[in-house]
Structure 1
């Protein structure tokens, strides 16, 4: 019997970024609960990892395997160029086999980190253009966006958004950025990041008589600035690493245990540099393979100080008082949504002394902040439930009525 619908998921999934994979996991949970008969597969960066972890067929996003390595030799340059042409056919053929394609979360409409237009922006444009050509509904779900200065990148992102059948954003600033770039956002909604739909970890530190201070999670990142900071990338990274290391050393001098977190494979050298510089048994590194692992780490901590966006999401979802080393507007927007807008510190200008002051203020207000996070998490869960209902109505109109009727009969 033919499945009700053929659904594809698309993005840099299975490539070592835990946030991207967490967004995929949330969407797969929705599909399995609401559309269990759908046939689901992926076009993604790490197909082997996606198939092994999530049990769905997956195809490599790029024909040329060295897509994200710098091409300096003539053979590599030719391979990349040929790959761009081959990917037009490959992407179109993959899209044509589907009724619906979902791009689950991620910052697919932004360039807050270094990005080349002919990399992922080009791939996203091919996806959305193929969807429009073949009548496949492409949905950009709870995605991040930001103003983009580079003209080719901005053009590809703008046309991708225009060609999508459904758009929602993970914060109001993302929607505003797309409107400023010429996209009609009148029907676009704002919902929380998809990771807030993942199962919650156990509650954080219990309230009660004060005991000895608990561990602090410090989420680090291979931060080199944004797409417009390429000329100053190494200077920005040195400043970030130095300030973060000084902060960790100050915590250790206060006798605090520190747990270093990452969110992408590329963050490992930062962890190694801090461990080498501080050289204390109080500092250890977590080995997290998923957002669930990160949530468990942050739930066990007294407080969290983190840079990567999805490190912040995990800590806030866990209900743990959190301070953001903010590198982009999306971090500020997330902290504001969750009621912690006061606790942001610029990642480009990490001042260890000022950061320590903010950290102490965070710990002093921890009890009230935990209550605030409990309330905000309940709101986020309700909003994402509404989004999934809206997504079903927009993308699965033929099955929406049948599924609703089946749920009524089962109740």
Structure 2
């Protein structure tokens, strides 16, 4: 039994319910941890899409902000007014909300990142306000295996560092994230129990069984998992975001056409509803340029969960992906993988998997080089897979060790880490 009583009240806090599969994968892993280690706990969710979380998981859920709860106005001016009013209303709403819980967990995700466009008074402010109100109310908060990078904007740096300072527990999914928080002024050396580096939470998810071979398909046909995203750059790229998107999409279309011409089947995968525009661009091009091949070489069934995405990737031979959690999913299945990286987090993961040579920056994507990397990886697939499987086993052991630390920090459970040496970055 925990020190919090017979039935501690836990809330998961994050951009959940919005369709992002990576966020949901981290949530699934932490939800499984709580239900397994602390089945007595009452579970709720404070999230971006409460109706969707209640539909998928049956968990009582509420919106993060007043504006999310009440929705936009009928006109742009009315929407701006409602957003502004919502920021003021949240100053009273958030304290009342967090006092309902004993523990609030932020499960993984890139919650302290600026690798995509982010406004200071959106998610960063909401996260800071939650942690501040929880601290004042005596509610324990945990940032578990989160991603971070050094923000350029002073407002974001302040919000992120104070969020981390006020949290009861924090850990990171890679050394780069911890170093980024240090660079922004966070002291990560005071408490030996936290500021550790552990693998991404998704590596704790159960792996799906390998599907049986499709007897109708020729034995020589190989399937490539092609992960795409509607990438428009970071805060620094707002003036040219549409050009960035158009350039990236055109190169993905070109590579997909090459795969079809070389005899491969394409399993197109995504990670967010916004990615559908890139899927449509690939399909439209193949339908026009390769009408006789598109139906037998192109497959796309959007997954609703990261578990569903894992099931899709279990049936492919190689993966080329852009979204971070598409890359994570492929690597945890020990699939030979090429990363089209939009952030250091993907590069760090590929390096840790000893696949550093099979990556490219998304804004400098070179299709000819990608084809060369693809051919090289395919020829070496048999040799890289065993090393990937060994690394995956280490990741799972590290996450299990962290669960002991987390239980002690949040629930007061008298548990010590079983394998301290599995912590990373030490």
Q: Is the 8 Å Cα contact of residues 268 and 298 (structure 2) preserved in structure 1?
A: yes
* 1:196-219 alpha-carbon deviations (Å, 9 max, x no partner): 01101225899xxx9514100100
- What does residue 381 of structure 2 align with? 366
Give 1:6-405 correspondences, 5 Å limit: 6-65=9-68, 73-186=76-189, 187=192, 188-203=195-210, 211-279=219-287, 280-281=294-295, 282-397=297-412, 399-400=413-414
**CA distance in 2 between partners of 1:376 and 1:390 (Å):** 21
Q: What's the CA shift string for 1:15-46, capped at 9, x where partnerless?
A: 11011111111111000110000011011001
Is the Cα–Cα contact under 8 Å of residues 94 and 133 in structure 2 kept in the other structure?
yes
Following superposition, the deviation at residue 250 of structure 1 comes to 0.4
1:55/1:369 CA distance change after superposition, 3 Å: same
CA RMSD of aligned residues (A): 2.2
Whole-angstrom CA distance in 1 between matches of 2:274 and 2:79 = 22
| Structure 1 residues 229 and 69, CA gap change in structure 2 (3 angstroms) | farther
* Secondary structure at 2:66 match in 1: coil
Alignment size in residue pairs: 399
When structure 1 is superposed on structure 2, of 220-229 and 282-291 the one drifting more is 282-291
In structure 2, distance between residues paired with 1:14 and 1:244: 28
The answer to whether the Cα contact below 8 Å between 1:22 and 1:291 also exists between their aligned partners in 2 is yes
SS in structure 1 at match of 2:141:
strand
Contact 2:336 2:384 (C-alpha < 8 Å) held by counterparts: yes
Kindly indicate whether the alpha-carbon contact (under 8 Å) linking 2:94 and 2:130 is maintained by their aligned counterparts in 1. yes
The whole-number CA distance in structure 1 between the counterparts of 2:180 and 2:203 is: 23
- Using the alignment, how far apart are the partners of 2:348 and 2:328 within structure 1? 11
Structure 2 SS opposite 1:177: helix
* Structure 2: unaligned runs, 5 residues or longer: 288-293, 419-426
SS of 2:62's equivalent in the other structure is strand
Contact 1:19 1:106 in 2 (8 A): yes
2:48–2:68: 8 Å Cα contact kept in structure 1? no
**Paired residue secondary structure (1:339):** coil
**Aligned equivalents of 2:349 and 2:224: distance in 1?**
20
* CA positional deviation for 1:74: 2.2
1:14 deviates by: 0.9
In the aligned structure 1, how far is the partner of 2:256 from the partner of 2:384?
23
* Corresponding residue SS for 1:64: helix
Aligned-partner Cα distance in 2 for 1:68–1:25: 27
* CA offsets 1:234-270 (integer angstroms, 9 cap, x no match): 1111111111111010010111111110000111111
Gapped regions of structure 1 (runs ≥ 5): 405-411
Distance in 2 between residues matched to 1:66 and 1:389, nearest whole Å: 36
CA distance in 2: counterparts of 1:331 and 1:119, whole angstroms? 25
CA contact (8 A) 1:71 1:77 kept: no
CA distance in 2, matches of 1:70, 1:229: 29
**Equivalent position of 1:408 in the other structure:** none
Give the distance between the partners of 2:226 and 2:234, measured in 1 at CA.
21
Corresponding residue for 1:407? Answer: none
- TM-score where L is the length of structure 1: 0.93
Q: Does structure 2 retain, via aligned residues, the 8 Å contact 1:245–1:277?
A: yes
**Distance between the aligned counterparts of 2:21 and 2:111, measured in 1?**
15
Provide the C-alpha distance between the structure 1 equivalents of 2:280 and 2:397, rounded to a whole number of angstroms: 40
